[in-house]
Amino acid sequence: MDDLHGKRIVLGLTGGIACFKAAELCRSLVKAGAKVQVVMTEAAAQFITPVTMQALSGQPVYSSQWDAREGNNMAHINLSREADAILIAPASADFMAKLIHGKADELLSLMCLARPLQSVPLILAPAMNREMWAHPATQRNVVQLKSDGAHVLGVGQGDQACGETGDGRMLEAEEIVDELLAFWTPKVLSGQHVLITAGPTYEAIDPVRGITNLSSGKMGFAIARAAQHAGAHVTLVAGPVNLPTPRTVTRLNVRSALEMHETVQQTVAQASIFIAAAAVADWRPASSADQKIKKDGSGNTPSLSFVENPDILASVAQSAQAQKGHLFCVGFAAESHDLLAHTTAKRARKGVPLLVGNIGPSTFGQDDNALLLVDEQGAKELPRDTKTRLARDLIQDIASRLSKK
């Protein structure tokens, strides 16, 4: 992934055991395409070495305002002018207190004070003991930092190095990278409430067997993440998949098509955009046995009959039409062949303005995909790419359509 491609990030480390997470964070930022310049305080070097951070960033580490590599002795000016953002992770309680008073007695705090306010954002990932985090002084400082224009991330909850448990842990590397992606994503869906379905459904035959499909839910989860990055409030109705929930997304877990249908019906009234990305089973067994169906050695197989599941997308689209455009509906079509023909016919049958087609066997369980966007004017291809980037492109396309309504 290169979603941060070309971004120049100063990664500042302050004193705290969470410095060990900074190593993975640096690696993740570089992997995401960013150029990372590490600046460490003297206290940070007690927890992790500059050699480690230099190896991971591929850049010399700075720790002194008087670094001889800067001919003008103005590292605080030179480094801050070259940055797209200054990220302090971990940001200790002491360092945050320094920032609100404009105290600048070493290189990192000097850089924060000297940065161009309008072009170099300051992003802080706090890390400290739970009592320090909860202290009124720290909370006042957080409020003041936000008022001064800093972007203060939340904290994690769990076991701490001191042996206590609670709030105050620094966010994990992948969470901070996700926050950066969201920070730089244009908020084209600000004020929108997006309801998304994702993953397969599971239709039980008996307590241990059922009918499902190969959908992993990755595309739907990627769309939920992209919509959240774009500023939307997102509700995700997820079938039985083992995927992490995107940050700040409300997740509602379901199992069967009937459960998904009921959950969508209960939540769709609050939505302004509905994206049906789930691979919902078309049929379910007419009845499900209470106990496991056993073989009896006769060679006879059990007889199964099926009934059709409700069409979630069609029912929502029909209601949306009755509401005269309050809800913008987007469907997905997972096909095995003749993608354009089947997707075009399905869009007309479902009565939705946009249907997204893909070849199911070539994408189920994969991290990449290729999409075909079909509307009443025709079709547009989104060539094979990561599901993350395709989700971002799809959200941009939806936002563009809404702006023209």
Supply the residues annotated as catalytic.
162
Task: Label residues 215-250 b or e (16+ Cβ within 10 Å = b).
Answer: bbbbbbbbbbbbbbbbbbbbbbbbbebebeebeebe
Residue 204 and residue 176 in one domain: no
Residue 178 and residue 251 in one domain: no
Q: Which of 68, 16, 8 is nearest to 40 (CA)?
A: 16
Residue 373 and residue 252 in one domain: yes
- Tell me, yes or no, whether 124 lies in a domain: yes
- Tell me, yes or no, whether 323 lies in a domain: yes
Average pLDDT over residues 314-335: 86
Average pLDDT over residues 269-291: 95
Domain count, the chain: 2
Q: Chain centroid to CA 84: how far?
A: 21
Which residue's structure tokens are 């700075």? 62
- Domain membership of residue 394 as a residue range: 193-282+306-403
Residue 384 and residue 260 in one domain: yes
Supply the pTM of this predicted model. Answer: 0.89
- pLDDT at position 2 over 60: no
Residue 87 and residue 168 in one domain: yes
Residue 222 and residue 172 in one domain: no
Residue 157 and residue 80 in one domain: yes
Confidence of residue 75 (pLDDT cuts 50, 70, 90): confident
Residue 356 and residue 383 in one domain: yes
**pLDDT tens for each residue of 376-394:** 999 999 999 999 999 999 9
- Tell me, yes or no, whether 301 lies in a domain: no
What is the structure's pLDDT at 1?
46
> What CATH number is associated with residue 230?
3.40.50.10300
